[in-house]
Each structure stands twice: as C-alpha cells, then as structure tokens.
Chain A
Amino acid sequence: MSEELNPPEREFAEALQGLQLAPLHTSAHWIWYQAGLHTGRRRANAWCAIAATTTLAAALIFVWGRQTPGPVERLVYVQQEPAPVAVVAAPAEPVSAASLSAEYVRLCNEIIQEQLESPSAQHFSDRAGDYMPPNHWPTSELDSSLSDQNTILRIEDGI
C-alpha cells in the first residue's frame, strides 16, 4: 500500500473511490413476489430441479475428486438466521353475530319443513350422520337453484 502509484494506477484508484452503490430498485413486495414465484416454479418443476441437482452434484463430485486443493484459510461471516416468527393461526372467523339469530330461526324452520313436508315422517334423514336437509326445499343461501326445486315441487304437487 505504501508503494507509489503511477498516474494510471492513481487515476484508477480515484475512479474506484468515486464509485457509489447503485440505488436499490427492488421493494420488499417485489422480493416477496419473486420468492413466491421461484418457490412456485421450484414446486412446479420439482422433477427438473431434482434431475438438475443430481447432475450438478455428480459433476461436482467428479471434478472435486480430480482436484487436490491445498488448505485454504477463510474467515466466513455467517449471518445468524433470525428466529422464526411465531405464526399464530388466526382464530376461525366467527359467524357474524348479527346473523346468528337469523341462522337459528332458519334452522328451526328447516326442521319443521322436514317434519311437515316429508312424505314420510318415518325416519330422520341422517345420511349416516352427515345430515342433509331434504333437497327439494330451499333451505339456505346455498340453495339458490330454486328453479330446480320448483320443478321437483311441480312433480310432487301434480301441478
């Protein structure tokens, strides 16, 4: 370092000193996006990755086997991995408090319809425990295909 630099070297050194870090063009969102994207790609191409890794590993072993490297001293700074963030599963979203009573009344009315409308009250529809309400009564917002049900009604009613 104490050696005198010749002009071109000095010029080069000054140029190096004048270098600045390029501004970061990435955002945290972009990094997460890329991470997700790559993860997805890795998953999608798992077999490719496995094949490539196997090939690379074989090549490295082959090359490493032929080399007789001398001892190298290195100071390696390892960034300590941050402690994993404890992810607390968000509690299942409770049913909207406002709709609870409405849901309860709907349930009661379903039972009554089942008892009153069923051609036979001889047994509950239990579906071996997986209870399904009678399929020809619109029972909830899920049953929006009323026209289908109307068709069934028509047949039953002889309309």
Chain B
Amino acid sequence: MKRRSALLVLCVELAILSLPTLQSRAAEKSPATAPTTILPNLDKWTIRPALAGGNPMQYRLLPDAFEQVPGNAVPLYLMSRQFWPDQKTTDEILTPENHRYDYLDTPIDDFPQEDAHKLLGAYSDTLAFVDRAARRQNAVWDPDERLGAKAFDYRDDLRHAGNLLTFRARFQISQGDWSGATYTLQTSFSMARQFDSAPMLIHALESSGFGRIALEGIREWITRGDSPNLYWALSELPDPFVELTPVAQSERIPSAQTPLDQAIRGELPAEMWGPVVQEMIGRLQEARPPFKRNPAELEAEAKRTIASTYPRATQYLLTAGIPKEQVDAMTPDQAVGTYFCREARAASDELWKCWGLPYPQSQEQMLRSWKALAPDQPPLLENPLFQASQVQVAFHVLPLRPDYDIPSLLRWRYSLSAVDREIALFRTVEALRDYAARHDGVPPAGLDQITDLPVPLDPATDKPFDYSVQGQTVHLDALTPWWPRNGWRLELTFAK
C-alpha cells in the first residue's frame, strides 16, 4: 500500500515537473503571436455635480511652507517601519476575517469600520512618523549602491506606507472627514515628491508611482456623493510632478566606478579592458531569456565577438579621429570595447537629447531617432552594450523576443509622465463636475463646451482627452499611445 502511494506521488511529481518543459516547447513552436487588443478595464464612477468655487485652496494637496519644519525627512520615513505590527497581527488587520476583506481592494464602504479602526490603530505610530516626515523641509536619500538592489529596499517599506495612507484617506473620505482626508492626501503627495529628491531614475519612477497611489485617494474623493470639487487643488500640483532633468543628468552617463562604467565614460586604463566586453555580453544575457548569465559561454562568446568585430572597431575608431598609432597600440579587447562604448553612447545620446521635451514631442523625436538608428540592424544589433540598455524584451508577444518598436528610454520617459496624465484626467473630471453643477447636472456635449475652467490637455498627446457622452453618462479615455493595454477608461455617470 505504501509502495503504491509512493509510486503515485512520484508520478504526480513527474507530471508537475514535466509541465513547464512541455509548455516551454509549445511556446517555442508557436510563432510570434500578437495578442488581441486588450484595453484597460472600464472604470465606472458615479459622480455628482460640484462647483469648483468656494474656498478653492481649502483642500490643497501639498503642505504649505509654514507647515514644514527644518530637517531631513528620510530618517523618519525609515524609522516608520519599526512600528509595524507583527506578522500575525498584520495578516489579521490588513485582510480581516480570513481574507474576506482586503485593505487595498475592498471598497471602503464594504470594509468593516471596526476593522478599519483596528488597522489604523495598529499602524498609528508608523503613520505618525510618515506624517511628520512628509512635513520636513528636505529629504536627503543616501542609498549605499555597493549593496546593489538591496540598497533600495526602503522603497518597499515606503510602498507599504503609501498604501496605508491611501487606505486612511479612503476611510476618512467615507466618514465625510474632508479635513482629515486632506491632511492624509498632503502626506501622500509630499512623500511622493520627497522621494523624487534623489536624482536617480529609480527614485523618479517610484515618485511617479507614489503620486499615482495618492491619486487613488482623489478617486475616492471625487466619487463620493457630496465631495467638494478638487479642480483647483489638483491644478496646484507641480507640473511635471516628477523632475526630468536630474534623471537625465544622473543616468545618461553612469557615475559608478565599475570597469564598464569607467569604460563608458572613457576613463578606463588600458590594462583593465580585458573583462569589459565580457561584462557587456553578460549584461545582455541577463536582459534576454532566460534572464541569467551563462558563465560557461561568456568567455567564448566574448572571444568570438572581439574577433569578428575587431576590423569594424578599428575602422570606427580611425574614422572617429583617433590616431592610427594609438589604435594600433590597442589590444583587441580595448579596441572593440572602446568601439562598443562610443557607439552605444552616441546612439543613446540621440535618444537622450529628446528626454526633456514635453512628452508628445519627446516621443515623436525619440521614435524618429530610434528608426534612424535601426537597432534591429547591424551595427547596433551587434552592440551588446546598446542592446542591453535600450532594447527590452517584449513580454506581450510569444515567444519572448527583443522589442525593437520602442527604446527603453521612451518607456522610462512615459512612466515618469503617467502621473501627470492621471492628474490631468482627474482635473478634467472635476471640470465636468463643475460644468454639470452650472447646467442642472447635465454633462457637456463636448469638452470644448466647458468655458468656465481651463480643461487640461492630455499630457501624452497634447490634445483633449477622448470624450463622448450619452445622456448622463460620459466616457473619458486615455490609452497609452504605444501600449493601449495601459491607460484609463472612465465611464462617468452623473447623478442629479
């Protein structure tokens, strides 16, 4: 009997183990298949007319200067984690009644009030520290980059804080506590802004994300029946929400001291070029399925690459004006490495030059440069440094393959602008609420009919958001230009 059970277990395990292999084979056989167009979920809101008048600055979304105190916010943010409850309590309060409710997903009106109080009580110290941090005058982040990705672990702690703040804002809004909710929203938006004070792409991306989390509170606010209009409060938020220039200054040319970073900057001593090409190829391996280095092949691959590229590399360097005797004195490693670095940097600069433009222009110019660079053709196709940094895998097409449609830089650029887009979208909703309040609760036939308030353009297209109306229901769409799976589709029903 025991033997039979063991055999059965073995068979089941074998079947489970073989599943991924079979699936991967199936994936390999299937041709590259573009997915059917998948649009973002339709978000249905019921909203009520509300004038954007009264005291427009009553609900401002960032603390004023007089509300801030001197000092660095970062230690307070980091300390807030010390007050998290233990794991058991965490599970009980974030997802009460055995996950029947979830503090992130359950509509706030369905979340039991007693549980909400319990949650906020358990995190009261954590949130108190975050509230204080958000009202410090500056934030000096000092990640120890020697630790690699671990240096940025605090992002996760602050994400939790961001989610908790949004929960608190939603709960306060559900209780009609507008001033309490305003205070919480100020904390959220301030934290998002303070996260942007480190001139790094990763901070900028998270800052944009924190801003969008804060906007979840705004969403709750707008859809609450008798909520005050936030048009002016939203208009007061910084535009762009995330600073673009510091990112370009810190990311265009790496500042680290690795041999490859020094090589990219043109500062690597001649005797240190040996492993650089190998490192470039290693990075490319990490950026392609199966997303890990293959040390066994790395050295041989580097040798092959150097041998096949050397003639082109020397020609490139000579054309670039490097004296012949200097090129001749280079080892093949150095010549090919220098060539890859110079070529990749020149190509990347063609993209970076468009970074600071308003998004629509930035996108247009970047795509134009991208097409001219022809990253799917030699020589750039054979430049591992460029391919690893600018060509990502297209995850929406099977089998997984490099996506030559858009450069990584454009993804980064869009991600930083997504929060601006959402702010503009919500401002448009508030403008619609204002219009309806002035017109017996009836929405306008088109956005151009709104004349009392400036209606923001879609920052991604520089045009008004897609708008249609049918009776009391309007649709506002803002799909990502090159990625329609992402974006917003709002269905707003005006209750009179």
Question: Is B283 touching A112 in the complex (CB atoms < 8 A)?
Answer: no
Chain B residues, CB < 8 A from A105: 388-389
CB distance from B167 to the nearest CB of A (A): 9
Q: Does B2 contact A (CB under 8 A)?
A: no
**Would A104 and B104 count as touching, CB distance under 8 A?**
no
Q: Which of B38, B209, B389 has the most CB of A within 10 A?
A: B209
A90 CB–B CB distance under 8 Å: no
Complex Cα distance, B279 from A143, in Å, reads 21
Question: If A107-B202, A109-B392 touch, does A158 touch B35 (CB 8 Å cutoff)?
Answer: yes
Contacts known (A124-B209, A140-B291); A145 close to B398, Cβ less than 8 A: no
**Which positions 48-87 of chain A face chain B at CB distance < 8 Å?**
none
Contact A128-B33, Cβ < 8 Å, known A99-B148, A147-B20: no
Point out the residue from A120, A131, A137 that lies within 8 Å of B159, measured CB to CB: A131
What is the CA–CA distance of A145 and B19 in the complex, to the nearest angstrom?
A: 11
CA–CA, A143 to B147, complex, Å?
21
Q: Which residue in chain A gives the minimum CB-CB distance to B84?
A: A129
**B213: interface (CB < 8 Å):** yes
CA distance A137 to B312 in the complex (A): 37
Question: Please, which residues of chain B bring their CB within 8 A of the CB of A11?
Answer: none
Known interface pairs A108-B412, A115-B209. Does A103 touch B292 (Cβ–Cβ under 8 Å)?
no
**Cα distance A144–B294 in the bound complex, in angstroms:** 13
Chain B: CB-nearest residue to A105 = B389
Query: A100, B160: Cβ atoms under 8 Å?
Result: no
Interfacial residues of chain A within 103-143, with CB under 8 A of chain B in the complex: 103-109, 111-113, 115-117, 119-126, 128-131, 137-141, 143
Instruction: Across the interface, name the chain B residue whose C-beta is closest to A147.
Output: B24
Question: Which partner residue on chain A sits nearest B85 by CB separation?
Answer: A128
A101 within 8 A of B: yes
Question: Most A CB atoms within 10 A — which of B19, B24, B156, B388?
Answer: B156
Interchain CB contact (< 8 A) of B157 among A116, A123, A129, A157? A129
A122 to B84, CA, bound (A): 23
Pick from A111, A124, A145, A153: contact of B396, CB under 8 Å:
A153
B305 at the interface (CB under 8 A from A): no
Closest to B483 in A: A116
* Cα A90 to Cα B414 with chains together (Å): 44
A-side contacts of B206, CB under 8 Å? 111
The residues of B that contact A99 with a CB separation of less than 8 Å are 148, 282
Asked if A146 lies at the interface with its beta carbon under 8 angstroms from chain B, I say: yes
Partner of B398, one of A94, A101, A128, A159: A159
A122 engages B201 (CB within 8 Å): no
* 8 Å CB contact of B275 from A98, A108, A109: A98
Using a CB-CB cutoff of 8 Å, which residues 132-172 of chain B contact chain A?
145-150, 152, 155-157, 159-160, 162-163, 166
Let me know if A146 and B201 touch, CB within 8 A. no
The answer on a CB contact under 8 Å between B20 and A145 is yes
State the Cβ distance, B208 to closest chain A Cβ, in Å. 8
Partner of A130, one of B156, B398, B408: B156
State whether the Cβ of B259 lies closer than 8 Å to any Cβ in chain A: yes
Q: Which residues of A contact B376 (CB under 8 A)?
A: none
Within the complex, what minimum Cβ distance (angstroms) separates A10 from chain B? 73
Question: Once the chains are docked, how many angstroms separate the CA of A100 from the CA of B282?
Answer: 12
Tell me if B148 and A126 are in contact (CB < 8 A): no
Query: Are A147 and B23 in contact, with the CB atoms below 8 A?
Result: yes
| A107 close to B415 (CB less than 8 A) | no
From the candidates B20, B40, B162, B418, name the one contacting A148 in the complex (CB within 8 A).
Answer: B20
Establish whether residues A141 and B163, one from each chain, have CB atoms under 8 Å apart when the complex forms: no
Which residues of the partner chain B approach A125 to less than 8 Å between Cβ atoms? Answer: 159
Q: Are B412 and A112 in contact (CB under 8 A)?
A: yes
Contact B286 A102 (CB under 8 A): yes
Which residues of the other chain, A, contact B46 by a CB distance below 8 angstroms? Answer: none
Task: Kindly provide the distance from the CB of B39 to the nearest chain A CB, expressed in whole angstroms.
Answer: 11
Partner of A104, one of B36, B149, B208, B395: B149
Given that A141-B293, A146-B24 are known contacts, is A128 also in contact with B90, CB under 8 Å in the complex? yes
- Tell me, in angstroms, the Cα distance from A126 to B103 when the chains sit together: 12
Contact indicator A141/B159 (Cβ below 8 Å): no
B205 in contact (CB, < 8 A):
yes
Q: Is the CB of A159 within 8 A of B257?
A: no
A28 at the interface (CB under 8 A from B): no
Residue in A closest to B24 when the chains form the complex, CB atoms: A147
| A119, A123, A139 — most chain B CB neighbours (10 Å) | A123
If A100-B145, A107-B152 are given as contacts, then 4 extra A-B residue pairs at C-beta distance below 8 Å, sorted by A number, are A97-B256, A101-B258, A109-B411, A144-B291
Q: 9 nearest interchain CB pairs?
A: A141-B292, A131-B156, A147-B24, A95-B148, A157-B35, A129-B160, A147-B23, A124-B159, A147-B20
> Interface of A with B (CB < 8 Å)?
94-95, 97-109, 111-113, 115-117, 119-126, 128-131, 137-141, 143-148, 150-151, 153-154, 156-159
**Interface residues of B, Cβ cutoff 8 Å to A:** 19-21, 23-24, 27, 33, 35-36, 38, 40-41, 81, 84, 90-91, 94, 104, 145-150, 152, 155-157, 159-160, 162-163, 166, 201-202, 205-206, 208-209, 212-213, 216, 254, 256-261, 275, 279, 282-283, 286-287, 289-293, 388-389, 392, 395-396, 398-400, 408, 411-412, 414-415, 418, 480, 483, 485-486
